[in-house]
C-alpha cells in the first residue's frame, strides 16, 4: 500500500477503515474496541489539526500587526528625535542622551609644512617633460583570415 503523505488523505483513510469495519462488523468479531479507539483518535486528531490551522492564521495576523506596529514606532521615534534636534539644535551636547549624534563644527584645514628631506615632486630634469602618454604599440585592426584550401 502506498504511503499517505497528506493529513486529508490520512483522515480519509481512517474514516474509510472505520466505515468498512462498521459495514462488516458481523464478519469481524472483536474488532469493535479497535474501531472505537481509531474513531476517538480520528476525532481528536482532526480537532487538533483544525486548532493548529487556526493558530497558524492567528500567528500570521499577529506577525503582520507586530510589523505594522514596529514601523509605526520607528516613524514616531524619527519624528520625536527630529523635534528634539529642532528645539535643542544640532550642536547641543545633550543630543547623545536622546540617541542623536552631535553635529560638530568642522576644524579648518591647515597646510602642514613640508618636512625637510622630503622628495621633490618635480622631475629631476625639468627641461624635458615626461611624455603625456606611453608610446603607442601597433594594434591589428582586422584579423587576417587564412586562405581557403581547395577541396573543402
Residue 82's pLDDT band, with cuts at 50, 70 and 90, is very high
Q: What is the pLDDT, as a whole number, of residue 111?
A: 74
pLDDT of 68 strictly over 60: yes
Q: What does the CA dihedral 78, 79, 81, 86 come to, rounded to 10 degrees?
A: 140
Query: What does the block give as the cell for 30?
Result: 472483536
Average pLDDT over residues 113-127: 60
If pLDDT is split at 50, 70 and 90, which confidence band does 5 have?
A: confident
Q: What pLDDT does residue 40 have?
A: 96
- 3-class SS of residue 5: coil
Rounded distance, CA 111 to CA 108, Å? 10
Mean pLDDT of 10-17: 94
Is residue 38's pLDDT more than 70? yes
d(CA 123, CA 127) in angstroms, rounded, equals: 9
Overall average pLDDT of the 91-99 stretch = 91
Amino acid at each position: 500500500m502506498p504511503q499517505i503523505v497528506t493529513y486529508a488523505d490520512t483522515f480519509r483513510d481512517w474514516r474509510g477503515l472505520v466505515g468498512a469495519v462498521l459495514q462488516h462488523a458481523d464478519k469481524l468479531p472483536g474488532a469493535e474496541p479497535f474501531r472505537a479507539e481509531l474513531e476517538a483518535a480520528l476525532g481528536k486528531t482532526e480537532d487538533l489539526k483544525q486548532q493548529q490551522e487556526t493558530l497558524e492564521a492567528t500567528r500570521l495576523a499577529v506577525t503582520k500587526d507586530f510589523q505594522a506596529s514596529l514601523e509605526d514606532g520607528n516613524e514616531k521615534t524619527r519624528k520625536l528625535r527630529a523635534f528634539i534636534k529642532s528645539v535643542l539644535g544640532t550642536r547641543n551636547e545633550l543630543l547623545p542622551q536622546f540617541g542623536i549624534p552631535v553635529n560638530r563644527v568642522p576644524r579648518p584645514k591647515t597646510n602642514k609644512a613640508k618636512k625637510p628631506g622630503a622628495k621633490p615632486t618635480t622631475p629631476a630634469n625639468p627641461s624635458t617633460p615626461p611624455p603625456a602618454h606611453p608610446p603607442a604599440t601597433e594594434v591589428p585592426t582586422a584579423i587576417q583570415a587564412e586562405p581557403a584550401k581547395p577541396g573543402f
